[in-house]
Chains A and B, each alone.
Chain A
Amino acid sequence: MITAVGEIQMLMIARDVVEAFGDDAIAGDAAAAIGTGGMQMVSREADVETVLERNPNYFRDGLPYFDGLRGNWNFDGAYRAAQYVAGDADMLFFPWLGFPAENEAVRGQVGEENLVEVPMNATWNWVAVHFHTKVEPYTDPRVRTALHLATDREQLLVTTQGVTEIGGPISHAIGAYAWTPDELRQLPGYRSGAQREEDLAEGRRLLDASGYDPASAPPMTAAAGYGTPYAEVMQQNFAEIGFEVAVQEQPDSENNPKRAAGEFTLTYQGLGGAFDPDILYGLSHSGGGRNFGEFSDPEIDALLEQGRSTLGLENRRPIYDEIQTKLLDRHNPQLYCSWGRPVVGHRPWLKGYGPTNMQTAATYRWYRSWFEGKPGV
């Protein structure tokens, strides 16, 4: 809860403003917000530029160090890299989670010493496949588990061009509760080599036991563009255990609402936002708001309710360990594949910048950042 309240999307609005103008009138209007952060908005042009200035009423004495910030937004990677390499920008938010190849190109231009890479916490863009658990053949957990065992996470990592890390139900950014990539690589479905062959054999056995009709699977839908390559990898993986499924592309604007409305059978799509293990409540509890595939299991429900009503890391951790174990071993309402690994880069003279545990990659610790040795400053 505290983390959620501290999210950058959470705006604190004066009560009299809400009463005067209503929720709708002020939603999204940064000028109506009472900023408690180190910086406050001067101007913003969506998708173009944001100008911030120092908040004179910031509660931390003497901070922030910067008088202001100017963010220049552009989705074109060449343009943004050019600004950084030419020295017109002190920080570069790499596009779309930070492709290593692009990082490499920028580093090659400016030199190793001029690009400080800051890995952000992988709390967003969960690459996942959602099963609709009320639609054949995914009503049978053996089919879902078989597909979990068939999914080659290492191959998916290659497909995502290194911008993700292998992930389980809980993002490893929530370090205390999550299983690390190395831990996951010891588990069925995440293993490589001879052990993967064992997983595939078990997948085939489960699929046979389910009585699955190879001709019965409706197509897997995927967001056109970014989703298709991953869906195609999974299609190949599934075929290794005899599960044939077609991939049907549809625009994000169509795929996303359809998933939200439960109009799918098997859909590939990223899903953002994780800062507490309680994210699993939304995804896997029978009353969860993100439980698009209508998964329902009384035991999992009870554990999730217990998890959100239990205080203390040591008390909660065993609950979430049990939930993750049960989800992966028996239920697999979603295929947990990977979490994003966003990276930002900055010039060496920018000091004090670091990742936070927030939902989005672009985490802002500007209040305690400063320049040291920047030419001309």
Chain B
Amino acid sequence: MSANATTPDVIAAKAPRAGVGGRAGRLLRGALRTRRGQIGLLLTLVVVGIAFLGPLFAGNPTALHGGPFEAPGGQAGALGGDSLGRSVLDRVLDGGWRILLISAAATAMAIVLGSVAGVVAAYRGGFADTVIMRTVDVLLGIPSLVFVLMLLSVVGSHAWLVIVGVGLTQAPQVARVLRAAAQDVSERDYVKAVAAWGVPPRTVIRRHVIPSLLTPLMVECALRLSFSIILVASLSFLGLGTQPPTADWGVMINENRVGLAQNVWGVLAPAILLATLAVGTNMFSDAIARANLSSGPAGDPTLQMALSASNVAEGDEPVGLEAIDEGSQ
């Protein structure tokens, strides 16, 4: 920082750069300070670890090891055999990474598409807004799962199509949230103040609006990932995602549920992993949203204002508010 040259060291030492990266980090750290955030991240990391490291330890997931639904501990390994006599353990270890990669790609697509559409709709207004929001409405008019199923049923099951389909169903939500947030921010006095200097709209958006959208964007990322994982796994379960005989947690649950009474692990193991992953990502997104509530400067402007406005009002709450909220979780 060149500013150091002209200012005393004392100040430079405690100067936090308020860049976007810095605030994202602060928000994440805030989330990790909550119990919910810690548990959420832990659960997510455990499942992600199993999904990506699993293949290194897995035997051949399509090899046959005896009769169907063999009890655990036999030829088929610690978790027994599946509907065709393959090792449940090997298939569980190999069956997660595709879901994760596909979900991550779909989430990325949804976030990029949705946030661009949302911000453009908020800023262009008028015709662009109408077109974008109509499209959003239309896409929301078909349930996500049904929409992707419809695409897959005709074109056939391809990973890229799952990504595009899931991305398309998640993008409208992102667009809605970001459009609302951008509109909200642009109504604030500090944005108007900049407009009163004659600063061009493009600069206003880049310097003042986009940084304020960071919080909703991060919450959306985690939330959309969570939904994408569910959708992708559901598609596999219905037989339209990953195709047999490739190992996949969703596929496994479907294949092995007829043998629940003989070997419960063929269903239970992938179900537990999927459940843990979904709960983990969801808890983490919840923790980010909450971190925003309690964090000071990095926080969402809306909430900051609500909190500080009570300071101006003649009521004597400020005391209560802060004292109380700091204590909780």
Q: Are A and B a genuine interacting pair, yes or no?
A: no
**Which chain A residues have a beta carbon within 8 Å of chain B's beta carbons?**
none
**Which chain B residues have a beta carbon within 8 Å of chain A's beta carbons?**
none
